[in-house]
Structure 1
Amino acid sequence: MDVVTVGETMVLMTPDSSGPMRYANEFMRKFAGAESNLAIGLARLGHQVGWISRVGKDEFGKAMVSFIRGEGVDVSQVKVDDSAPTGLYFKEFRRANDLRVYYYRKNSAASKLSPVDLNEEYIASAKFLHITGITPALSDSCYEMIFSAIEMAKKHSVKVVFDPNLRRKLWDEGKARETFLKIASQADIVLPGLDEGEFMFGEKDVEKLGKLFIEHGSAIVVIKTGADGAFYFTNDDHRFVPGFPVAKVVDPVGAGDGFAAGFISGLLDELSLYEAVKRGNALGAFAVTVNGDVEGLPDRDELFTFFNEKSNDVSR
């Protein structure tokens, strides 16, 4: 297994029309979640990925597992909960540059994830464990589960990748900051946005932030700066990697997950850090061009066609 990730995926309902959602009569049903978005992005690039989660014993849960399995992700560690529903959320494209998201996930099946849902041998089989800052916010048992997963990974020399994915509405900011800093101190790789770095350390300067993350315990930190690109930092190196211009952003949700998939794919393919970040930037750009979190993510042929057209030399 190349990568194992753990967290909640929800049913995504998107109106067929723009404007206030109260006027919508028809909706498209999709599936989305930071961890499964990443898993699907990696699977499309030919990597072996496993997703750990819980879904409700309902039609949405059945459809979700079938969809993610169909994308080439191993779902053998997904459990079905007959006492809680599959989570749900809505995207509202209210008007140009005004996208709103509404979550209905309280007491969902995935919020009941706990350490007993983890298979240590399964985690030990991976090269990377990917986690986000969303999961520990869902419940006390999810919080405990995340740190159990980190402990298992470190025990077996599996590298831990932490994407903060800050969701302020999910929990108290003080608790979120404390948790993020605790996870970052144990993670090998951290992938914050500039705003998340500022949230964690109270620092806006990207170079100072990179140094703070490294001093805090991370071996590699990549700080994303939106469409401009991203900075990577190690103990003895740091560089800026420009992003790829997108003529029209259709749906910005999921860009960070696409970036994480591209970056980890680059590491798995043993690219340099610069080239791995560049691949992450490319997948982030792909993600925002299509309505939906994963629908725009490329397969390997599409990715290399894109780089060839840009006249960039990226090793296969």
Structure 2
Amino acid sequence: MSTAPVLTVGETMVLVAGTRHEPLQQGTPMSLGMGGAESNVAIGLRRLGTAAHWVGRVGDDSAGDLVERLLLGEGVQTTCLRDPSAPTGLMLKERRSTMETRVWYYRQASAGSRLAPGDVPDEAVTGAALVHLTGITAALSPSARALTLQVAALAAGSGVPVSFDLNYRAGLWSPDDARALYREILPLCTLVFAGDDEAAIAVGSAPDARTYARRLLDLGAGTAVVKRGADGALSSGPGGTHERPAVPVTVRDTIGAGDAFVAGYLADVVDGQDAATALGTAVAVGAYACTGDGDWEVLPRRREIARLLDPEPVSR
């Protein structure tokens, strides 16, 4: 098991969320927190006992202070680059009902969108156990896209495994722009994560998860993991093809479940587990993340994952 951290790079925003299941226009009480795909993964890793290092830009403001404090409080090694001329991004979440959650992002010209080549120290990349990147960061701006490719290339060239989650966001870029980035970065990647719809952007529509995985491998990725939500997940790579069904849970909030899935998979990879074991852990962690509110607050520890199958989930 490596003691070096998993490095994640990206934007973390302040999150303002309704505390009740009702439209925001009703004046529902709000809570204050944070959220971001890469920091969610970092926290998930720490909860599972894996060292993690997050690098990102925040404003020189109280919102940036909050992001830094919460990440440090979770035990994440944190490099918060402070931007005095741009604010920390904002995410607004409406729990409209138990069946529907809406999220709005206010990140144009944010500090995080100004991530650029040179922001991540070379030694943070070359000294990592693994580097995890996402398509969200690459979509924020041309400079953030360049940074994503720079970090991936440095890691791959230094023998550090690279993990990449396609994480397509229609509000940030077009399918054509996303596809171009995916096809440029996948040859550098040891691992790629994608949902069915995201994989279709990268490789075209396919009849099933196995075909999506094979086509992602054809683009150069070492192992492809297809996240299928309620239909479970599939991985394909040098160790063969593995499938896991979804773990049935009572769903409260699905936001952040994909990041939880990735954290579960990466924690086992860094721990030296095989692909089949990692996939099982990923499915369990992703399911657990759906059982409570928040992007990362409910992420489990190792000892808690087994409770998903415990008929008497009461600690005594």
Please give the TM-score of this superposition, normalised by the length of structure 1: 0.93
Question: CA deviation digits over 1:52-87, x for unaligned, max 9?
Answer: 101111111101101101100001x22111111000
Alignment correspondent of 2:287: 285
One of 60, 83, 88 as aligned partner of 1:57: 60
- Say if 2:37 is the partner of 1:5: no
Q: Residue 46 of structure 1 aligns to which amino acid in structure 2?
A: G
Question: Take 1:215 and 1:138, find their aligned partners in 2: how far apart are those partners?
Answer: 27
Q: Is the 8 A contact 1:57 1:81 kept in 2?
A: yes
- SS where residue 203 of structure 1 aligns? coil
Looking at structure 2, the residues matched to 212 and 294 of structure 1 have their Cα atoms a distance apart, in angstroms, of 31
Match of 1:15 among 18, 27, 40: 18
Q: What displacement does 1:236 show?
A: 6.2
Contact preservation (8 Å) 2:137, 2:145: yes
8 Å CA contact 2:246–2:283 kept in 1: the answer is: yes
Q: Is the Cα contact below 8 Å between 1:214 and 1:220 reproduced in 2? A: yes
Of residues 256-265 and 232-241 in structure 1, the stretch that sits farther from structure 2 once superposed is 232-241
In structure 2, the partner of 1:270 is 272
Unaligned runs of 5+ in 2: 312-316
Contact 1:17 1:24 in 2 (8 A): no
Give yes or no for contact 2:17–2:94 (8 Å, CA) kept in 1.
yes
Q: Which runs of 4+ in 1 moved over 6 A?
A: none
Deviations 1:203-257 (A, max 9, x none): 23222211111111111011111122111101462121122111x2111110010
Determine which of 220, 224, 227 is the counterpart of 1:221: 224
Which residue number in structure 1 is paired with residue 87 of structure 2? 85
CA shift for structure 1 position 181: 2.1
CA distance in 1, matches of 2:302, 2:280: 15
Mapped contact 1:230–1:277 kept (Cα < 8 A): yes
Cα distance in 2 for partners of 1:51, 1:301 equals 24
Question: What residue ranges of structure 1 are gaps of 5+ in the alignment?
Answer: 311-316
Q: 1:126 corresponds to which residue? A: 128
Matched residue type, 1:277: L
Match for residue 161 of structure 2 among 146, 153, 159:
159
Moved more, 227-236 or 136-145: 227-236
Aligned length in residues: 307
Q: 2:307 is aligned with what amino acid?
A: F
Deviates more, 1:145-154 or 1:200-209: 200-209
Q: State the partner residue of 2:307.
A: 306
What RMSD, in angstroms, separates the aligned Cα atoms of the two structures?
1.5
Post-superposition CA distance 1:69-125 (Å, at most 9, x none)? 1100001x2211111100001111222322111011111111111112110011111
Sequence identity (%):
38
Tell me the alpha carbon deviations over residues 245-298 of structure 1, each in whole angstroms, 9 at most, x when there is no partner: 11x211111001000000001112222211100000011011111110111111
Greater CA deviation, 33-42 or 210-219?
210-219
**Aligned mates of 1:150, 1:48 — CA distance in 2:** 19
Map of 1:168 onto structure 2:
170
Q: Distance in 2 between matches of 1:255 and 1:67?
A: 19
Instruction: Indicate if the aligned counterparts of 1:2 and 1:268 stay in contact, CA closer than 8 A.
Output: no
Counterpart contact for 1:10–1:33, Cα < 8 Å: yes
Shift of residue 46, structure 1, vs aligned partner: 1.3
1-side partners of 2:25 and 2:310: how far apart? 43
Cα distance in structure 1, aligned partners of 2:248 and 2:210: 23
Q: 5 Å matches for 1:252-267?
A: 252-267=254-269
Number of the residue aligned with 1:115: 117
- Paired with 1:236 and 1:299, the residues of 2 have a C-alpha distance of 27
**Hey, what's the Cα distance between the residues in 1 that align with 2:174 and 2:213?**
25
